[in-house]
Structure 1
Amino acid sequence: MAQTVLITGATGFIATYVIKLLLEQDYIVIGTVRTMEKGDNFVKNFQNDNFSYVIVPDLTDSKQHFEQILQSHPEIEIVLHTASPVFPRYYKDAEQDLILPAINGTKNLLESVTKYGLNVKRLVYTSSDSAIHSVNREGQNLVENEDSWNDVEWVRGNSKDIDAVTGYDVSKTYTEREVWEYSSKNPNVKVSVINPAYVFGPQLFDETVHELNYSSDLLGSLVTNGNGDDYKRLKGGFIDVRDVAKAHLFAFQRDNTINKRLFLNETTFTEQTLLDIVNAKFPSLHDKVPKGVPGSDKETLRESFTVFDNTKTKEILDFEFISLEQGVFDTIDQIIKVKGI
């Protein structure tokens, strides 16, 4: 008999790919969405009777919604919690727009599972490498792995002093700690956590290219902002969205993922790495994409970047990650085709 999966934040970049894989493997999927319009559009795109949606308009005020879902669907055995605010879109106040919705929405879900999720056996939380990596200890020869935690601190009520990046770090770090606290008190529900780096890759549906997720928008801006120096200087780790989705299914399908953090990172990069790939792969964009200083990323990464060691995760998952070159190519190729660049 097919198992039923509840996935929060169903219209998110990662969640769409997770749902695709779930449906391909004949799971029954119930996704939470913010509006009926988004839900109906998803039903149309997936065209699969095993997918349905319920409306949860706001994470902060979501307890009664989650309780109703679990009461109405006692057959739910797996919960995938991907819903969480992402900076900087709609960001005004770090505490109100990022931190509290993430923490309170997760608490609401976990309390509802405890009270009404009588058949829930596995729970997967989508965290971030922001809960692992700390800017306070960046530097050459430093190593961060699945056991590392961001040491960011949050003093409630000081949101005016918190920038968007720090607010996101706080939201992911403190929320993930809530999940592990829940796990320690509810051993009957087996918990796994996904910690992805910057997530690139094509959108599952072309129509959503016009509303890119934060990571893909950073990449897309390289080809849409014109040939100049107006692009974001950044560095970080990369993982492809298709690998993130695959890891979500492995997280609840396998026993070796129980009580594990799956640190998803294929390689590290700077904005120059991305520029070099785009310029090499898309000669037709040479008059639209900045050149920067080709090859200078290698020295930057060697001198200043913390080493990400996710050996344990790779051993657990035992599949090869999609390369940065392929992820960038597929992302940009779709943007060019859809936007007619």
Structure 2
Amino acid sequence: MSETVLVTGGTGYVAGWCIVALLEQGYTVRTTVRSVAKEEQVRKAVSTVVDPGDRLTFATADLMSDDGWDAAMAGVSYVLHVASPLGQGDTKNPDELITPAREGALRVLRAATQAGVRRVVMTSAANAASPSSYTTDGITDENLWTVDDPSLPAYRRSKTLAEKAAWDFMAAYDGPTTLTTVLPGAVFGPILSTATLGSVGIIGRMLSGKMPGVPRIGLEVVDVRDLADLHVRAMLSPGAAGQRFLGTGEFVWMQDIAVALRNGLGDDASRVRTRTLPNLLVRLSALADPGLRSITVSLGRRNRHTTAKAERVLGWTPRPAAEAVVACGRSLVEHGVA
């Protein structure tokens, strides 16, 4: 019998690919959903890549409730805690994101340690290891912690505070379970279904022609398949215990993404605009579009992270950003999203 891995938030974009990666490597996977009505959606999405057979099962559990977590952990060897609320730039109450992210992480860790699982791999974010000042550029690594500040975007605060709470919990814990955290950048790549779009909506907007140009925003693009691979490597490596690993990718400007789509998709990307919008125009647009407000602070900023630790300790190598972007765009076109 293969070992069982619990993946939280099975309907999510990253979680879906983690399930695929684990099944491809022969593991039995249990994943959490908030409603049994979501089970078929997850199974159908995963089945587009790998036949789960009877090796994919489900547990009903919610990050904001204790119910179901003990049952979800029964017989589990490892946990990939991927689930977290996704944020919008115009979130008025930061606690709507911070509380479920932090309390959910602690809830998962309590159940995992009580069940004696070997390791929990938790998905954080590269922005939890970034300078808190938006005026700071440079290259940073896992030793840096974002200093929480109410002026930061709610999503960034939620990831930082949830990861910090997890490490604080483990510092007071004395037992066999170990914790590893993975801090991804901008996650693109193919989708498994239209119900699990995750962070790729921006690519869909570009392909649909809804963006008259691109802001001067830099992203560290990581392919979702490489990110799933990083989670599995972090789960298995003895040297990963008690460590943070940045899972960012190549730094590119959004104009580079637009050019990659035009070059890689031909006519399917004919509506993609490659011109860079003036910073002033983006800031003025943000006055009327709350969704743009969170990105204005990043205009022209070139803060980057190094993945040298993941490469050295885990043998991880992400694919080029353009490959991830084109795969994402092609997948969106095939699914009729763009």
Query: Which of the five TM-score ranges fits, normalised by the shorter chain?
Result: 0.7 to 0.9
Equivalent position SS for 2:335: helix
Find the counterpart in structure 1 of residue 2 from structure 2: 2
Query: In the aligned structure 1, how far is the partner of 2:91 from the partner of 2:208?
Result: 25
* 1:55 Cα deviation after fit: 1.4
Find the counterpart in structure 1 of residue 287 from structure 2: none
Name the aligned partner's letter for residue 182 of structure 1: F
How big is the alpha-carbon RMSD for the aligned residues of Structure 1 and Structure 2?
2.5
Find the counterpart in structure 1 of residue 130 from structure 2: 133
Q: Identify which of 176, 180, 192 aligns with 1:188.
A: 176
Query: In the aligned structure 2, how far is the partner of 1:22 from the partner of 1:129?
Result: 23
Report if aligned partners of 1:199, 1:239 keep a CA contact under 8 Å in 2: yes
Query: In the aligned structure 1, how far is the partner of 2:12 from the partner of 2:93?
Result: 20
Corresponding position: 1:310 with 2:307: yes
* Pair 211,307 (structure 1): closer, same or farther in 2 beyond 3 Å: closer
Q: Following superposition of structure 1 onto structure 2, how do residues 228-239 of structure 1 map, counting pairs within 5 Å?
A: 228-229=212-213, 234-239=217-222
Find the counterpart in structure 2 of residue 259 from structure 1: 242
Corresponding position: 1:247 with 2:218: no
Corresponding position: 1:268 with 2:251: yes
* 1:175 Cα deviation after fit: 0.6
Find the counterpart in structure 2 of residue 157 from structure 1: none
Q: Deviations over 1:39-82 (max 9, x none)?
A: 123234434201101112x322x212213433xx2x11111111
Find the counterpart in structure 2 of residue 298 from structure 1: none
Name the aligned partner's letter for residue 248 of structure 1: H
Please report the TM-score for the alignment, with normalisation by the length of structure 2: 0.84
Query: In the aligned structure 1, how far is the partner of 2:160 from the partner of 2:269?
Result: 40
Q: Identify which of 133, 154, 166 aligns with 1:167.
A: 154
Query: In the aligned structure 1, how far is the partner of 2:221 from the partner of 2:125?
Result: 12
Find the counterpart in structure 2 of residue 14 from structure 1: 14
Report if aligned partners of 2:3, 2:77 keep a CA contact under 8 Å in 1: yes
Q: Deviations over 1:85-137 (max 9, x none)?
A: 01129x7543342110101111112222233x13x111110111021113415
Name the aligned partner's letter for residue 324 of structure 1: A
* 1:138 Cα deviation after fit: 4.0
Q: Deviations over 1:299-326 (max 9, x none)?
A: xx9x741242221221122232111110
Find the counterpart in structure 1 of residue 203 from structure 2: 219
* Pair 8,25 (structure 1): closer, same or farther in 2 beyond 3 Å: same
Indicate the percent of aligned positions where both proteins have the same amino acid.
Answer: 24
| Comparing 93-102 and 170-179, the one that deviates more | 93-102
Find the counterpart in structure 2 of residue 86 from structure 1: 86
Query: In the aligned structure 2, how far is the partner of 1:88 from the partner of 1:132?
Result: 20
* 1:212 Cα deviation after fit: 1.6
Query: In the aligned structure 1, how far is the partner of 2:147 from the partner of 2:276?
Result: 33
Name the aligned partner's letter for residue 315 of structure 1: R
Segments of structure 2 that go 5 or more residues without pairing to the other structure are 278-297
* 1:153 Cα deviation after fit: 2.4
Q: Identify which of 308, 332, 337 aligns with 2:334.
A: 337
Report if aligned partners of 1:5, 1:28 keep a CA contact under 8 Å in 2: yes
Query: In the aligned structure 1, how far is the partner of 2:70 from the partner of 2:216?
Result: 43
Report if aligned partners of 1:138, 1:306 keep a CA contact under 8 Å in 2: no
Q: Deviations over 1:231-279 (max 9, x none)?
A: 5553221111011100111111111211111101221122211112122
Report if aligned partners of 1:121, 1:190 keep a CA contact under 8 Å in 2: yes
Report if aligned partners of 1:279, 1:289 keep a CA contact under 8 Å in 2: yes
Query: In the aligned structure 1, how far is the partner of 2:337 from the partner of 2:162?
Result: 40
Query: In the aligned structure 2, how far is the partner of 1:329 from the partner of 1:286?
Result: 10
Segments of structure 1 that go 5 or more residues without pairing to the other structure are 155-161, 295-300
Please report the TM-score for the alignment, with normalisation by the length of structure 1: 0.84
Corresponding position: 1:103 with 2:102: yes
Find the counterpart in structure 2 of residue 176 from structure 1: 163
Equivalent position SS for 2:136: coil
Report if aligned partners of 1:227, 1:287 keep a CA contact under 8 Å in 2: no
